């Protein structure tokens, strides 16, 4: 929801009424969906509770919401939607247009796991604590670079990104991730989604097969299928992606992997499996897309290097992001491409995406060069290590349960989340829904599965949850799991 402000001519309760009404009509709030309590909404939006209650009352009177004493406020089941009934802009669709005006691809995409379920809450996996970001310092750097900005910095950029930033990333990746690269192989993107899109568009044709880990990072599967690739799920075990004969029968053009910390199980791809994967890619003439999304945070176990650093043939395209160390809305990531492809990628990026944001890239380059990135990372590591320890401690009683085939934890050595694996009879979606009713957003592992049916668990983030929140609510998660296991 956009920020409500006093500069708007409407009173605040009316602005909130309009914003919620629009969200219902546009389907951003689904029929039957429960709204946060008026107290939570007031706190989140920094409004008075009276303002929130006035807006909710009005929407209830008009039939957009229904309130049940003691159980909360819900979106009414029979609200007309924009474009297909009263209240919203009507669309006149050409004959033969699929329902709702979406293309077949659009319909498939909208059926898949959707961002609305990914709202940031304390235990949402994969989210960093961006409240720790040194905003004042960042503002100073931004101001400085805006003051010094020459007109050419306001133009589109054709060189793959601001050169000092590409150099700073190159130095970091060489030292900390053992990536083999020169700065001209780095393309600055708006993040992993755009890196994936570029790879899909330049390296594969419509209908080509892409192997995607199962379970998977839904964002990658979605970005690749939106580019016309045929997703072939390949099961992951505790050594990473594990293609079998049935997979080999579906030769890939692209292989998408998260080898250092499989998302979401957290499996680390073993050296043997890495070599096997590179050999498989070679045999099929496929490209490997390595998403190294959270390797900055490694808490235990030996240091890991990138898959790209092991690759003798230049088949691996490496992608990283600033979303997990700085903040996601910064929208800056990077793609390292093989030398021979660098010019083609720069040109395509320029033509397809018209990249820019040069003053921001300049501020980020200085942020890294002056050691602020390293210091933010050091602080973040300390803080997440503490949160991780606290969450592991809270979950310990569940792991100690007798009975052999009980729950276990995977993927806690690194990153911002861990995976509490549960035995198959447990309904992890019901468990996650139950926890959501207490305001605890964890994700069911089965929701990440593309085709397999055998995995159950909870994917729990600790990056965004304050330590006190983990101390308080970690035991509540453990208690709910215990109950589900009984």
Ligand X SMILES: Cc1ncc(COP(=O)(O)O)c(C=O)c1O
Binding residues for ligand X, rule: CB under 6 A, are 126, 191-193, 217, 219, 258, 263, 291, 293, 321, 323, 328, 333
Q: Which of 278, 304, 307 is nearest to 291 (CA)?
A: 307
Nearer to ligand X (CB atom), residue 27 or residue 215: 215
Report the DSSP beta bridge partners of residue 321: 333
Which residue's beta carbon is nearest to the bound ligand X? 191
CA distances from 371 to 172, 311, 378, 433 (A): 11, 30, 11, 43
Please say which residue, 264 or 359, places its beta carbon nearer to ligand X: 264
The Cα–Cα gap between 298 and 414 comes to 4
Nearest to residue 370, comparing CAs of 139, 181, 188, 141? 141
Q: Indicate the residue among 190 and 393 with the shorter CB distance to ligand X.
A: 190
Please, which residues have CB within 8 angstroms of residue 124's CB and are 6 or more apart in sequence?
118, 441, 442, 443, 461, 464
**Which residue in the block uniquely carries the two structure tokens 């802009």?**
89
Side-chain half-sphere of 107: how many Cα atoms within 13 Å?
A: 8
Alpha-carbon gap, residue 172 to 118, rounded angstroms: 30
Rounded distance, CA 258 to CA 79, Å? 41
Nearest approach in angstroms of CB 190 to ligand X is 8
Nearer to ligand X, 64 or 263 (CB): 263
The rounded distance, in Å, linking the Cα atoms of 275 and 271 is 6
Beta bridge partners of 409: 420
Which 8-state DSSP code applies to residue 382?
H
Shortest distance (Å) from residue 199 CB to ligand X: 13
* 41 or 224: CB nearest ligand X: 224
**Smallest gap from residue 196 Cβ to ligand X (A):** 8
CB of 219 to ligand X, least distance (A): 6
Rounded distance between C-alpha atoms, residue 373 and residue 136, angstroms: 14
Nearer residue to ligand X within complex by CB, 252 or 266: 266
Least distance in angstroms from the C-beta of 192 to ligand X: 4
Compare residues 52 and 235 and give the one whose CB is closer to ligand X. 235
Report the nearest approach of ligand X to the CB of residue 293 (Å).
Answer: 4
Closest among 311, 297, 361, 287 to 125, alpha carbons compared: 297
Of 393, 310, 360, 407, nearest to 153 by C-alpha is: 360
Of 221 and 390, which has the nearer Cβ to ligand X? 221
CB of 197 to ligand X, least distance (A): 10
Residues 409 and 420: beta-carbon distance below 8 Å = yes
């Amino acid at each position: 929801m956009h920020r409500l402000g006093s500069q708007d001519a409407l009173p605040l309760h009316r602005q909130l009424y309009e914003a919620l009404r629009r969200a219902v009509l546009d389907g951003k709030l689904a029929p039957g969906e429960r709204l946060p309590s008026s107290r939570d909404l007031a706190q989140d939006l920094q409004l008075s509770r009276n303002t929130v209650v006035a807006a909710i009352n009005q929407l209830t009177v008009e039939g957009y919401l229904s309130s049940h004493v003691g159980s909360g406020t819900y979106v009414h089941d029979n609200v007309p939607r924009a474009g297909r009934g009263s209240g919203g802009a009507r669309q006149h669709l050409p004959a033969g247009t699929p329902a709702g005006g979406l293309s077949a691809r659009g319909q498939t995409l909208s059926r898949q796991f959707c961002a609305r379920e990914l709202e940031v809450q304390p235990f949402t996996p994969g989210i960093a604590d961006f409240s720790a970001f040194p905003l004042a310092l960042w503002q100073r750097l931004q101001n400085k670079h805006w003051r010094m900005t020459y007109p050419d910095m306001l133009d589109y950029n054709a060189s793959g990104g601001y050169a000092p930033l590409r150099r700073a990333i190159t130095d970091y990746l060489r030292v900390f991730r053992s990536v083999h690269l020169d700065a001209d192989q780095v393309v600055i993107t708006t993040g992993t989604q755009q890196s994936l899109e570029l790879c899909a568009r330049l390296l594969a044709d419509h209908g080509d097969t892409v192997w995607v880990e199962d379970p998977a990072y839904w964002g990658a599967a979605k970005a690749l299928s939106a580019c016309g690739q045929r997703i072939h799920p390949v099961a992951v075990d505790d050594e990473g992606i594990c293609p079998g004969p049935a997979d080999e029968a579906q030769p890939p053009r692209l292989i998408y992997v998260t080898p250092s910390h499989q998302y979401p199980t957290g499996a680390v791809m073993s050296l043997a499996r890495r070599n096997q994967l590179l050999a498989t890619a070679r045999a099929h003439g496929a490209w490997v897309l390595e998403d190294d999304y959270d390797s900055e945070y490694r808490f235990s176990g030996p240091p890991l290097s990138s898959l790209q650093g092991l690759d003798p043939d230049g088949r691996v395209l490496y992608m990283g992001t600033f979303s997990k160390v700085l903040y996601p809305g910064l929208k800056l990531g990077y793609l390292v491409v093989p030398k021979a492809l660098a010019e083609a990628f720069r040109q395509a990026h320029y033509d397809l995406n018209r990249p820019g944001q040069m003053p921001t890239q300049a501020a980020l380059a200085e942020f890294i060069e002056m050691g602020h990135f390293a210091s933010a990372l050091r602080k973040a590591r300390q803080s997440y290590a503490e949160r991780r320890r606290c969450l592991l401690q809270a979950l310990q009683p569940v792991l100690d349960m007798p009975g052999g085939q009980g729950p276990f934890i995977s993927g806690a050595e690194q990153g911002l989340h861990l995976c509490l694996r549960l035995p198959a009879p447990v309904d992890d979606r019901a468990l996650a829904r139950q926890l959501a009713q207490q305001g605890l957003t964890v994700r069911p592992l089965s929701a990440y599965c593309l085709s397999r049916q055998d995995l159950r668990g909870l994917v729990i983030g600790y990056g965004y949850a304050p330590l006190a929140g983990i101390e308080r609510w970690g035991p509540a998660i453990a208690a709910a799991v215990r109950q589900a296991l009984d």
